Amino acid sequence: MSKYIYTAKTFEGKPRSGSLEAQNEIELARILHEEGCILVKASLEETEGKKKRKFAFSIPFIGGVSVASKLMFTRNLKVMISAGVSLPRALKILSEQVRNKKFANALVDVKKEITKGKPFSESLARHSDIFSELFVSMVKVGEETGKLEEVLDVLSNQMEKDYQIRSRLKSAMVYPMVIIFAMAGIGALMLIVVIPKLAEVFRDMGVDLPITTRIVIAIGTFMANYWYTLPIIIIALIVSLRFFLKTKIGRKTINIISLKMPFISPITKKTNAAYTVRTLSSLIAAGVPIVRGLEIVSNSLTNVFYKKAMADASEKVRKGSKLGESLREYDDIYPSLVIQMIGVGEETGETSVVLEKLAEFFEEEVTNATRNLSAVIEPILMLLIGAAVAFFAISMIQPIYGMIQTI
């Protein structure tokens, strides 16, 4: 069997492309015809792959699949399965509706693997950059228990809550970022346009300049002469920062800052607590064993300290300890309410229900905290901007004042 890259058109005239395995082009055309398509062009994947390898390159941070796209896919898949649509046909329909090319190709591949007889979860696991371990594990439970529709419903609720929390955090940071970028632009304009002219006046007057003024003039002169290097410097700094944050040291550094910084620390703790209990609740409700659930939660968390806490708790629970007791040594990152309520859930046998209620509580707390974040950050920004303006003003006015005194 050979693998073909094909271009086809549906009977309605819509274009379609993808890859399929077939003995030859005749069989490929037959397969596509059964699926309601007419073959237009086909080539062996090896040949196509060689062509792509000549020019292919990857751009970091581009081409991901958003949480919103995966959420819509999960919801629609659940509706189709509940309506009695077969899984391969549902995936085929959804792959044609998805706008993200990477996501669409992944769904086509998953559909192809299912048609070959592979389990849905195993097919999803081939695309770990799109479908998380949490997603794959819950789908696997749904397959094994015959409750895929219910699991997809739980998953969509989980993803919706996660999406809402991320959206609130991003929205809270929009105003501060706009102010910072605006002031940075105004500052750069002053350094490029105003400062060099003042520097010429000071040179003509032969004024002895203080160190702060010399620093400002040096920065302004450099930016005025080499302004075209600013975009390169900014892009280099952003790329370097992104790569640094992907390293183990970088992740740990930013995690420490987020847990220690005033105003940010409470939001970080509440957000991670909400995500932990919500995810664990969804896993337990889907039928995932508690130890495996803790491992999955650990792998899905981004903060290294919370990852370690869940990994250690998983190991202790495996050895016979209770989850509430296992988390007691991490009361510096998990609120005591989480630990106490988990203990209550274990005693009553309603851990999943208690975790869900906890998740709702902390999600509301995150909403309130992010709503007030802009109000807290605004005076801090004003102070920082005032300090910067004062530094520039004093640096420029001090030499002028000195000239006036000598007249």
Residue 396 lies in a domain: yes
**Cα–Cα distance, 293 to 284 (Å, whole number):** 7
Q: How much is the pLDDT for 45?
A: 59
Residue 260 lies in a domain: yes
Q: How confident is the model at residue 26 (pLDDT cuts 50, 70, 90)?
A: low
Q: Which residues pair with 37 in a beta bridge?
A: 10
Q: How much is the pLDDT for 192?
A: 83
Q: How much is the pLDDT for 52?
A: 40
Domain that holds residue 179: 147-407
Convert the pLDDT of each residue in 293-335 to its tens digit.
888 888 888 888 998 999 999 999 998 888 888 888 888 888 8
Asked if the model's pLDDT at residue 180 lies above 60, the reply is yes
The share of the chain scoring above pLDDT 70, in percent, equals 89
112 shares its domain with 38: no
198 shares its domain with 276: yes
Buried-state track 53-63, b at ≥16 Cβ within 10 A, e below 16 = eeeeeeeeeee
Stronger pLDDT, 305 or 23, i.e. the higher one: 305
**Cα–Cα distance, 45 to 51 (Å, whole number):** 10
Domain count, the chain: 3
Asked if the model's pLDDT at residue 58 lies above 70, the reply is no
Q: Which residues pair with 48 in a beta bridge?
A: none
Of 136-140, 168-172, 270-274, the one with minimum mean pLDDT is 168-172
350 shares its domain with 389: yes
40 shares its domain with 106: no
Among 35, 55, 75, residue at a domain's last position: 55
Q: How much is the pLDDT for 204?
A: 77
180 shares its domain with 247: yes
Q: How much is the pLDDT for 54?
A: 37
Amino acid letter, 203: R
174 shares its domain with 207: yes
Asked if the model's pLDDT at residue 405 lies above 80, the reply is no
Among 87, 102, 131, residue at a domain's last position: 131
The pTM score is 0.64
**Cα–Cα distance, 212 to 218 (Å, whole number):** 10
215 shares its domain with 345: yes
Q: How big is the chain, counted in residues?
A: 407
12 shares its domain with 77: no
Of 22-36, 273-287, 380-394, the one with minimum mean pLDDT is 22-36
Asked if the model's pLDDT at residue 61 lies above 70, the reply is no
240 shares its domain with 378: yes
13 shares its domain with 113: no
151 shares its domain with 183: yes
Q: Are 388 and 274 in contact (CB under 8 A)?
A: no
Convert the pLDDT of each residue in 351-389 to its tens digit.
888 888 888 888 888 888 777 776 777 788 888 888 888
Stronger pLDDT, 397 or 62, i.e. the higher one: 397
Residue 142 lies in a domain: no
Burial of 122 (0-12, 13-18, 19+ CB in 10 A): middle
**Cα–Cα distance, 92 to 105 (Å, whole number):** 10
Convert the pLDDT of each residue in 220-252 to its tens digit.
888 888 888 888 888 999 899 888 888 888 888
**Cα–Cα distance, 346 to 341 (Å, whole number):** 9
User: For position 295, which CATH number holds?
Assistant: 1.20.81.30
Residue 60 lies in a domain: no
Q: How much is the pLDDT for 293?
A: 85
Asked if the model's pLDDT at residue 56 lies above 70, the reply is no
